[in-house]
Structure 1
Amino acid sequence: MDLELRHLKTIRAIADAGSLTRAATALGLAQPALSAQLKRIERALGGMLFERGRDGVRATALGDLVLERARVVLPAVCELQEEAVRFARDGADGYRLGGTHGPLLGGLVDRLARTEPEAAVTTYTSWSERDIARAVGAGRLDFALLGVCGESSPFDADRLTWTEVARDPVYVMLRTGHPLACRAELELAELAGEAWTDVPGDGCFGDCFAAACVRAGFTPARVYETDTASCVHLVQVGRAVGLCRASFPATPGLVTRPLAGAPLVWRHLLGWHPDGRAAGRAPAVLRHTRDAHTEALARSAWHSPGDGPVAARDDRHDRALARGLVF
């Protein structure tokens, strides 16, 4: 049997797990199947790689040698694959965009379609900012359009180039008949008795929201994490109040209101690989994305008909600008 990369991955998985049972679970194999595979690998390498004991497995001297080489070979092969993907696609036309929920991805697609109608534009969406960043790092996407809470660092900050597109204060969504809907601005503490709804993600926003609530003197009674449409529905029927950005589009049956002091801020970021095929087009894409954000603000709920006097809406916008939260 010739040694293959998958065999090295198996050996590393066993060493990392410390037992065949845990390694089998991580690899999605039955434990007897993994044991049989390990025996075949050991025969190919000429000796035992692990000593079995009641507490798990421990690498032998031969196992340590193989693991040392595997920890060099596997990352090198992964890097080679990523570089090959980028190289193979260097001459390809079009844009491969990745993003999470929100209006900016659609706005960017629209602007690219308007300015470069012959260019192919493909999109990939995920709740996971980590997955999108990894796809850009691996060359499967050209640009990542996502957000982070406050001053948090984006994923893969050491490998990718990230540029801030804009900052939005986080707003609260209320049904139009809510007792506080007529107010121009709300204190977070005034919502202490409410259930909340928000979209999921793998960043720190949930922790930051919980911390802001504690500073306001309460703990949220319930938080529903679900898709955007479900969040809107829960707010419209009065089941919860929601969290959104200032650029959230106007929606029938609800209003959005800023929170006094802007206790939560969302930073929109555009990321790309500095050696990727699209790095040279990043300034143009960044400009389009910022324009898309401006257009989203113009369509947002604080500009919606029936949302209070125009002067009040403009005043809220001016205060946000003064705090450096929107540009």
Structure 2
Amino acid sequence: MDIEIADLRLLRAVAETGSLAGAARELGTNQGNLSRRLQRIERATGMVIFRRGHHGATPTAAGRLLLRGADAVLPLVDQLLATTGTQPPPPADPAPAAPSRPTAPAPPGTPSVQLGAVPNPLLPVIAGHLGSLLPHAPIALRTADAGPALLDLIRARCLDLAVFRYCPGLEGPLPDGVETAVVAEERLLIGFAERHRLAGRRRLTLADLGSETCILTETGHSALRRHFLAVVERGAVTASSGARPMLCWAADDAEAAALACAMSAVLPAYPFPAPVPGISYLPLDEPAARCQLMLAWPPDGRLAPQATRLAELARQSYPGTGTPAPPPAAAAPPTLLDRPVPHPRPAPFPLTPTYPHAAVPYTERVNSA
């Protein structure tokens, strides 16, 4: 029995959401139908693709191999369908391109700048710099939950520029055929209600989370979910106690924040542009919790001449840096601050790009010594 494109989309949805229930919601079907389709795929391949348990659905080694093939094929299929004017089924990741900002009428024949990004604090700044560098080119934005899909689109020449996160200690090497630049060093954040027992600390370790309940969302945030679970697994292997936090699943971000406050639980997160009322955040002080916010572009793409300058501008604008950044080779990118960030009162957006959480930015100064 052959594997169909719809089957690959199903596998991607299960991997991205981390559960059959989340994938069913993502694809607009019910969990029973999705489970039967997954069983048919596993019979067709003769492989167990996902391990199902109370923590969700985790791909096996064979499943990861099949998912890498899906990650390579699906962007090309979507591009082919877009070229022929055929609308594909709703993809799990990335979303269809849509204009990200109103623009003045461009000269006839001016191609759009194709920008792809994971949710991150710098996206508005990068889009603004693109508009300044190429004032007559309309900008089209694709959002994705994970970096590999964006890198595949860069390699397929479907994107001119991508903003993504990369975890050097947990992921393989970056693919060939892509130029990259590091914009900032980030760390996983742990959110909690302002009256939580962890409030007032300057940093957290996995040992602090051993007795906690961690809230994860079933839909979206697949890269965050995989990163956090990998950090927990690595910490459980290296720690003598082997203690690990209990996991609890929420349907979406709003439910996750509500459960964190109601249950006095904790909430893993990446730095993001919008604050969550009632939640404060601390960086997770573990080596595996570090990641890099990066730009990627095709070496011979239309933005290649401006990409290095754009990366430098983005580096200077990263929340909380405050001063111009030196050339990329002269200093390490900025990292996250070690202080909790309460939800502030709304303030006018500043002319100089800074992090909208105002009082305390999500960065920490890098000691250049």
What TM-score does the superposition give when structure 2 sets the normalisation length? 0.53
Structure of higher CA gyration radius: 1
The equivalent of 1:107 in structure 2 is 125
Q: Which moved further from structure 2: 235-244 or 117-126?
A: 235-244
Structure 1 CA distance for aligned equivalents of residues 297 and 360 of structure 2: 35
Query: Which deviations, in whole Å up to 9, do the C-alpha atoms of 1:259-310 show, x marking residues without a partner?
Result: 345551011111111122222221132123323423599999856577xxxx
Change over 3 Å in CA distance of 1:171–1:26 after alignment to 2 = same
The equivalent of 1:210 in structure 2 is 233
Q: Which moved further from structure 2: 98-107 or 151-160?
A: 151-160
Structure 2 CA distance for aligned equivalents of residues 255 and 189 of structure 1: 19
Q: CA RMSD in A?
A: 4.2
Change over 3 Å in CA distance of 1:293–1:247 after alignment to 2 = farther
Structure 2 CA distance for aligned equivalents of residues 116 and 197 of structure 1: 42
Asked if 1:137 is matched to 2:155, the reply is yes
SS of corresponding position for 2:4: helix
The amino acid that maps onto 1:209 is V
Structure 2 CA distance for aligned equivalents of residues 106 and 225 of structure 1: 28
Identity %: 21
Structure 2 CA distance for aligned equivalents of residues 204 and 28 of structure 1: 23
Q: Determine if contact 1:130/1:202 at 8 Å carries over to the other structure.
A: no
Structure 1 CA distance for aligned equivalents of residues 368 and 226 of structure 2: 22
The equivalent of 1:66 in structure 2 is none
1:111, distance to aligned residue in structure 2 (A): 3.7
Structure 2 CA distance for aligned equivalents of residues 229 and 102 of structure 1: 18
Change over 3 Å in CA distance of 1:180–1:160 after alignment to 2 = same
- More helix per residue: 1
Q: Determine if contact 2:121/2:271 at 8 Å carries over to the other structure.
A: no
Query: Which deviations, in whole Å up to 9, do the C-alpha atoms of 1:88-129 show, x marking residues without a partner?
Result: xxx845421111122222332234346655431211012232
Structure 1 CA distance for aligned equivalents of residues 363 and 117 of structure 2: 26
1:213-228 superposed matches below 5 A: 213-216=236-239, 217-224=242-249, 228=253
What TM-score does the superposition give when structure 1 sets the normalisation length? 0.59
1:209, distance to aligned residue in structure 2 (A): 3.5
Asked if 1:252 is matched to 2:274, the reply is no
Asked if 1:276 is matched to 2:321, the reply is no
Q: Determine if contact 1:149/1:266 at 8 Å carries over to the other structure.
A: yes
Query: Which deviations, in whole Å up to 9, do the C-alpha atoms of 1:228-271 show, x marking residues without a partner?
Result: 55544443444631223456654320111133455510111111
The amino acid that maps onto 2:113 is Y
Change over 3 Å in CA distance of 1:203–1:192 after alignment to 2 = closer
List runs of 5+ in structure 2 lacking aligned partners: 8-43, 45-72, 84-108, 322-333, 345-358
List runs of 5+ in structure 1 lacking aligned partners: 1-21, 30-55, 57-74, 86-90, 307-311
Change over 3 Å in CA distance of 1:26–1:116 after alignment to 2 = closer
Structure 1 CA distance for aligned equivalents of residues 192 and 175 of structure 2: 35
Change over 3 Å in CA distance of 1:103–1:137 after alignment to 2 = same
Q: How many residues align?
A: 241
1:147, distance to aligned residue in structure 2 (A): 0.4
Structure 1 CA distance for aligned equivalents of residues 251 and 122 of structure 2: 19
The equivalent of 2:204 in structure 1 is 186
Change over 3 Å in CA distance of 1:252–1:225 after alignment to 2 = closer
